[in-house]
Amino acid sequence: PIVAQSIQQFFAEPHNHEVIATLRGAGVHWPESTGLQQSAGILAGKTLVLTGTLPTLSRDAAKDHIEAAGGKVAGSVSKKTDYVVAGVEAGSKLDKAQQLGVAILDEAGLLALLASADASGQGSLSF
């Protein structure tokens, strides 16, 4: 959660946007993202369920990130569910996950998991 929060805070700072603009103006270029690239990834073979409202990601964006890391997004929680990503006002899906002992992540936890996969070379995610 700390890594994802730090990344979010970095891009929330207007000064950092100015630094990026200055670097681009000076001719520094990096590959533009054309979207998320599918890979086996850290979530290969894992099933995740989204519940509640995530603070910064839309449900579609979260699903895209999960699928790009090799995961599958399901609509309901079962004993086969590996993770439940719980946002604000999570309801019965969160309750069921707790009853079944399914691992629960918040948005920051999901982003940290995805970032750790990218850092370890297990995926090629572009945020």
The per-residue pLDDT string of the chain (127 residues; one tens digit each, 9 = 90 and over) reads 577 778 778 878 888 788 888 888 898 887 765 554 445 688 999 999 999 999 999 999 999 999 988 999 999 999 999 999 999 999 999 999 999 999 999 999 999 988 876 655 554 444 4
Task: Determine the pLDDT at residue 38.
Answer: 47
Domains along the chain with CATH numbers: 36-119 (3.40.50.10190)
How distant, in Å, are the alpha carbons of 11, 12, 15, 26, 106 from that of 87?
Answer: 21, 20, 29, 40, 6
Q: Are 50 and 59 in contact (CB under 8 A)?
A: yes
Give the Cα-Cα-Cα angle 121, 102, 106 (nearest 5 degrees).
60
Residue 69, Cα to own-chain centre: how many angstroms?
9
